[in-house]
Amino acid sequence: MSAIPEWFNVISIVYYIISFLVAGAISFLGYKAYKLIKEKKYLNFSIAFLFIMLSFVVYALTNLFVYLNLDKNPDRILAIINAGFVAYALFTIAGYFLLVILTFKVRDIKIIAILTAGIAAALALLPFVKIYHVVLLILALLLSYFFYKNCREKKTTNSKLVFGAFLAMTISHVIHIISGSDAILFAVGNTILVLGYILLLIALLRFK
């Protein structure tokens, strides 16, 4: 179960709704680019952010369910929270994983299978909340490294925005790993994550 302070439910719901809207807009723009250019990488990019969008939908609904106190049975509430977090985590990891495969142009099915098995084993063997953020941190670091090199090479506004977006995502996962039950760090981590998505959205809106 995610270590979110109980009193923080309202603010966390707002974060997830904003993130859902931004991720949804990114997914839409990616699909729009695919329809115009007919390059499959844009479709895959759109699908990656569709997964991320769905993760925020699931967790916003989970937190809303808890906040509205729609069920009085503590066992069912705990089961719903756990199920909501698992779905949220898996959707997010699927989105990040697809972004890494797309960015590094991984085509070898064996490599993809090995990476998938490694992530699944890590999630199964270690405390789920922490390893979830560790897995996302590793994937975000890979993306940040790639787009850092891209930024140094191209030095355009868009390349800087994209690098800034993935750097913000990386920083947010570092903060979540160390936050524990600290509400302030949780808020800072989520705020930086949302800012990262917004930077990416701005880069896509500038794309011509």
Q: Taking 50 as the threshold, does the pLDDT of residue 3 lie above it? A: no
What's residue 197's pLDDT?
Answer: 95
From the DSSP assignment, how many helices (H) and strands (E) are in the chain? Answer: 7, 0
SS3 206: helix
Q: Taking 90 as the threshold, does the pLDDT of residue 22 lie above it? A: yes
Q: Taking 60 as the threshold, does the pLDDT of residue 47 lie above it? A: yes
What's residue 208's pLDDT?
Answer: 56
What's residue 57's pLDDT?
Answer: 95
Find the range with the poorest average confidence among 28-37, 46-55, 69-78. 69-78
Q: Taking 90 as the threshold, does the pLDDT of residue 115 lie above it? A: no
SS3 151: helix
Q: If we measure between CA atoms, which residue out of 14, 21, 115 comes closest to residue 63?
A: 14
CB neighbours of 20 closer than 8 A, spacing ≥ 6? 53, 56, 57, 60
Q: If we measure between CA atoms, which residue out of 39, 15, 68, 4 comes closest to residue 193?
A: 15
The domain segmentation of the chain, as residue ranges, is: 6-206
Q: What's the whole-number mean pLDDT along residues 138-159?
A: 94
Q: What's the whole-number mean pLDDT along residues 68-94?
A: 85
What value does the mean pLDDT of the chain take?
Answer: 86
What's residue 52's pLDDT?
Answer: 96
Q: What are the residue ranges of helices labelled H in 2-39?
A: 9-37
Tell whether pTM > 0.85: yes
Q: What's the whole-number mean pLDDT along residues 134-140?
A: 90
CB neighbour class for 22 (10 Å; exposed up to 12, middle 13-18, buried from 19): buried
What's residue 199's pLDDT?
Answer: 96
Give the whole-angstrom CA distance, residue 115 versus residue 135.
11
